Structure 1
Amino acid sequence: MKLIAVIGGHLNRPYANTFNGGESTMNKGDLVNEVAKLVSTKKQAQEVVDCVFSTIVDALQKSDAVQIAGFGSFKTAKREARTGRNPQTGAEIKIDARNVPKFVPAKALKDAVN
């Protein structure tokens, strides 16, 4: 529960426009650096970030939804089998059914980015 509060607490915090030495995309290392500002060490921050991601993946593998208040929901959706086309040859190919992850942002997240 404490981790969810930490994540939710950052929605109102203004981030710099650049991460990772000037790039405008935040990557996992940048996220670890932000979490490290709230915990004792960077190693702990790495463990926290890895734990959050692995917990979300584990839940999705079991077809469970993950809802984080003020952030959004992760869930899986079934993509039906379909027929596709090889763009090089034009030949039809069968694409198997599969489960795909979906993310639905919460209203607070949508409002924060607008």
Structure 2
Amino acid sequence: MFDALLVQRPATSVGLGRHESNRRVQGRTRMIRSELIQKIADDNPHLFRRDVERIVNTVFDEIIDAMARGNRVELRGFGAFSVKRRDARTGRNPRTGDAVDVEEKHVPFFKTGKLLRDRLNGDA
């Protein structure tokens, strides 16, 4: 199922869809949620698209909810989602150079799994 996330097509200026040019990153296009849903629905014709959409949204919602509770979510072979805490610090306003207090915050973090890393590097 997660193989769909690894699909990346070369982006060219010819024949781009309406929003395609907005999704180009370093010569590649990003897969958006609706494309993931469509890919899974196409690969599983016995499932209705609305059911696939509900499943994908439920998976993402559960990952988000677990991370909001401070839990780590591990998908074997794919990677692990976690939350990292950044301490409060004194930053600098780049425009004026003035010191600015930056509050403590929590940021999402993703660490790739070995299978995904190997696949991206052509080892699998």
Q: Helix, strand or coil for the counterpart of 2:107? A: strand
Unaligned runs of 5+ residues in structure 1 are 1-5
CA offsets, 1:51-96, max 9 Å, x none? 1111000000111100101100001111000111111121111110
Q: How many residues get paired?
A: 106
Pick the aligned partner of 1:31 from 16, 31, 36: 36
Letter in 1 for 2:38: N
Counterpart mapping for 1:1-114 below 5 A: 6-7=1-2, 10=3, 15=7, 17=9, 21=17, 24-37=29-42, 38=44, 40-114=47-121
Q: Tell me the percent identity.
A: 30
Question: TM-score under structure 1 normalisation?
Answer: 0.80
CA RMSD of aligned residues (A): 2.4
**Whole-angstrom CA distance in 2 between matches of 1:87 and 1:26:** 34
Higher relative contact order structure (alpha carbons within 8 Å, sequence separation ≥ 6): 1
Cα pair 1:73 1:106 within 8 Å, conserved: yes
**Whole-angstrom CA distance in 1 between matches of 2:98 and 2:51:** 51
**Whole-angstrom CA distance in 1 between matches of 2:92 and 2:40:** 44
Structure 1 stretches of 4+ with a deviation exceeding 3 A read 18-23
Deviation of 1:15 after TM superposition, in Å, equals 3.6
Q: Residue 29 and residue 36 in structure 1: after superposition, are their counterparts in 2 closer, same or farther (change >3 A)?
A: same
Cα pair 2:67 2:83 within 8 Å, conserved: yes
